[in-house]
Amino acid sequence: MRKFLLLVLVILCGCDNTPRATVDGELLVGKRFDDVAVFLGVPFAEPPVGDLRWRGPQPLTSKVEQRDATDFAAACMQTMRILDWYRYMAETFGASRDYYDDLEVSEDCLYLNLWTPTLDDTARLPVMVWVHGGSNNSGWSYENNYRGHVLAPQGVVVVTVAYRQGLFGFLSHPDLNNADAVANFGLWDLVAALQWIQDNIEQFGGDPDRVTLFGESAGGQNILALMLAEPAQSLFHRGVLQSTAGYGLSMPSLYDEQLRGADFGDLIGTGSIQELRMVKADKLLKVYTENFDDHYHSPAIDGQLISESTWRRIQEHRFADHELMVGTNRDEWLDFIDKDASVENLIRLANERLRIEGEVALAAVSNETDPRRAMDRLRTAQSMVCPSQNLAANRTASGGRAWVYYFTRQREDDGGKKVGAFHGAEYSYVFGTHDDYMATTEIDLELSTVMQRYWINFATTGDPNGEGLPEWPIFQHPGPLVQELGDKVRAIPAIEAELCAAFKAWNDQGN
């Protein structure tokens, strides 16, 4: 009887504590995670299926009166490459591959997830929007380490967004010349999500005038592209680029994308885009993966969203008014290099470098006794460290502000010894979501707390520094400094000076 009376009281007073918000005529019903209101699987566009495949994201019209926002939506169509990587990492650190569940995928995937400490529409908290990585070919918005329940209670609204991957998000076709979007559909999805945030985030306690994008790998690449893309520039205010190699050093043209699309149509056995839209998604994915598995899906110069080379704009100091944080992990490529790599492999790699002269490259890493470590340094420097420092230097030279970090923390277990400060190691520290199969010591927890405060301060004020934190200097010449994030947190001279001087020389020659 008592339970019945309590249920009646809850219904009458509406005090069941379930978070609710009305967006575009829909009542979103979320859930609580401790003191955080959580809304999962919130649509920000129509499902890009059927005639909407390979079109720009369309405004949501398939609305319902009340939407259950308590579960994640399916991930965008993709191969299991990133899931397999996670399972490999679990094995590397001594856990079972079954640690990670199977992944549900669908073309109907344009949803976002949101964590907020308040639904007060006057709170105007800074908004942190995560853009996941995965080579623009795989990955999803709710990977275990991408959840906002640790960051949100510290006074921010956290949003993670999905966007179309691979052939569904980064392909074009000759039939699309006069379409609303001719390429870069995954990037247009991010623009649509940002517009949704501008229109609705106040209802979730967020400030539409303080929106920070942060993302890793291809996610960082996409953020940089959007920072320099006029249709997106006014939709956010700051960017954090974590371990990205995508600086626009080489960008495909619309012709390149359309040629690949036409070739793909021939492989499927149909010519027109309309016929391709009628083919089942799983068949498209299978044929595409069999034939274009090695293709890297960079943002393309499409003449609509991106009108010219990102790298050229960086060198010419043509930035929008965004503050910038950018950084690299110490061992980005180590785990991708053959365990039996030899000195001959190192020499071959150095001579294949297109942006650092071979003899200079070999001299700079001559103190390394392990060829794998030397190869990792070369690959990390030419694709990440040196372009990052170049970007930051040009941003500050243009009158803006940029901070650079160098993440060096290695887990204190056998897995950590194998992979070092690997590609992707830092985001569990940023989110405070450490996998329980990795050794997590007091050092890791303290570093994680510091990094969260840096990221949140940056989202709040445009400057990562704050009371009680080691001072993080702006990256600027002469004597540029970067912030080491590792066993110690401190400012150190910009890393890989020899290699980056050679990279600058290459760049100054007009390459």
Please list the active-site residues.
217
Strand partners, 28: 21, 67
DSSP class of residue 15 equals -
Tokens of 385: 């460290």
From CA 160, how far away is CA 433, in angstroms rounded? 15
Q: Are 218 and 268 in contact (CB under 8 A)?
A: no
The CA R_g of the chain, rounded to the nearest whole Å, is 23
Tokens of 221: 């690449």
Tokens of 45: 């566009």
Angle between helices 343-352 and 371-380 (to 10 degrees): 20
Q: How many CB atoms lie within 10 A of CB 493?
A: 9
Report CA 418 to chain centroid distance, whole Å.
25
SS3 19: coil
Q: Are 118 and 125 in contact (CB under 8 A)?
A: yes
Query: How would you class 354 by CB atoms within 10 Å of its CB: exposed for 0-12, middle for 13-18, buried for 19 or more?
Result: exposed
DSSP string, 147-206: -TTTTGGGT-EEEEE----HHHHS---GGGTTSS--S-HHHHHHHHHHHHHHHHGGGGTE
